[in-house]
Structure 1
Amino acid sequence: MHIYSLRRLPFLLLALGLSALAAEGRPLLSLQPTIARPGDPVLITVRGLSEVPTGTLGERPLRFYPVREGFQALTGLPVELTPGQVAVKVTVPATGSAAPRELLGKLDVVAPGWPSRTLKVANKFVVKKPAPQVQARMEADKAAFAAAFAQSFVAPLFGENFAWPRQDRITAPYGDLRTFNGKKQSQHFGTDIDGDPGTPVYAANAGTVVMSRDNYAAGNTVLVHHGAGLYTAYFHLSAIDVREGARVERGQLLGKVGGTGRVTGPHLHWGVKVDDLWVDGETLLKLDFTGAPAVTQRDKE
């Protein structure tokens, strides 16, 4: 297995090498990011194929969709994953007289180093047994989220890379280990972005709104389905400016920063969900869905 890296070869030579391999009809497997942490989204690209491949990242099955010159699959790494190497296996289907082949790779996963913090919220959000009316509302919220995240798998509804939903100071990154009011412990599965109440929040990419709703803990919420098993979430809004079912484009206004739900102050909680896993949105922003991959691997001769 040959590995080509932008860190080791000039970009021009790499591009020429990839073009030559593609011209020979040899499938090319690439991974983004090249070094990951538990909780990261991972983009797998296979170029030089005309038939849909199958594959796995660790124990997670990959769902491929067509892109220019091949296929891609987007998945995530569980937050509880032990650091080390994760195997990537893609099976190239048989074509004509050619037998099926396998593309094999490894993804290096490093320790996340998540910080810990103590937060103070209203006591009603940390009681062990909520009042019946609160419990009923929380169950309704749970059902609404499940329905929103149950969209059929489709090819990406976007044609660009992802962008920040707003530009401001990050007050809490993905993965924070939290203690609320000295009692309730949890992990933060989103990125908190500072903002004054009423400042705009924009769609990180094109997609379809699958939730526009006031929830107990998340407050005023917008969920956008982007295809490819990918969703972005926007919590604690003071106002919502889109309706469920609406098609939105990257940079379109979704709502305004607020302090609704379980919060310590006004901010945007931005979440990213891939294949039923909440993943790190900052890593999603670094993935290139349209250009040349950073590391490419090819199958054995």
Structure 2
Amino acid sequence: MTTLVDMYAKFGCSAMIACYAKNGKAFEALKLFREMMLKTEEDVGPNSVTMVSVLQACAALAALEQGKLIHGYILRNGLEEYGIIPSVEHYASMVDLLGRANKLEEAAKFIDDMRIEPGPKVWGSLLGSSRIHCNVEFAERASTKLFQLEPANAGNYVLLADTYAEAGKWDEIEVKRQIHSFVSTDEFNPQIEQLHALLCELSSEMKEKGYVPQIKVVLYDLGEEEKERIVLGHSEKLALAFGLINTSNAEPIRITKNLRLCEDCHSFTKFISKFARKEILVRDVNRFHHFRDGVCSCGDYW
């Protein structure tokens, strides 16, 4: 039964604390956590996964003080009351919570004071937050550690390069005397021409209804028209177009993304969910996004 619940959670369809947190239902996750803590007489208590999920819910709601209280409780009482030992996931969730609230200096100090050795998850949380807030100092600090811990992870190089580019530091994007190129288009898909044509048509029609391409995510010195062409070719948009072509009207579209969903793809998918009357579920590196009727479950905070 546990495996079955986990399976539904990974497909965006389940309902317990961890599933609520993963699917952008942060209020529901915290509400259920409070109910759990009141049912001690029924021998129902949190475990390590529960606490990580609750901290993730706090991050989704920018509930900084509540997250600090919960983490402090884990350190003080977790082992004695529930057998919970703070793990790398707990610390990474706290760094994510602090970083998303733009408390990057506090997040860095938190890492320095950790009781265990910070790993890729902790430094990755700091790098992701630094990218969101375009903070070069902390992005460099985190990426230096990540390049040592996981040198083959291309996502870390992408996040640092994007931070440099948004900050106007074009000369800093070269890594080890090589220019790293990451391609999102798929020219070998047999439907590629049909996908591009559909995206162009949808983009034109949605512009009339208020859609404005977020070309700021293209951090290159190009004209607006070329930037629009680039964002229209993002892999998640191609996947979305493929889903629109190859699924029935009643079927939801499910997409998995190996990086953080960019602002334009997020905006584009919201419009599509309303424009095409389609339920769309996107799982990026951070969380699930449930798009329906022009609204995302993350509340545009991810």
TM-score by length of 1: 0.24
Task: Give 1 or 2: higher strand fraction.
Answer: 1
Task: Give 1 or 2: higher helix fraction.
Answer: 2
Q: Which structure exhibits the higher relative contact order, with contacts defined as CA atoms closer than 8 Å and separated by 6 or more residues?
A: 1
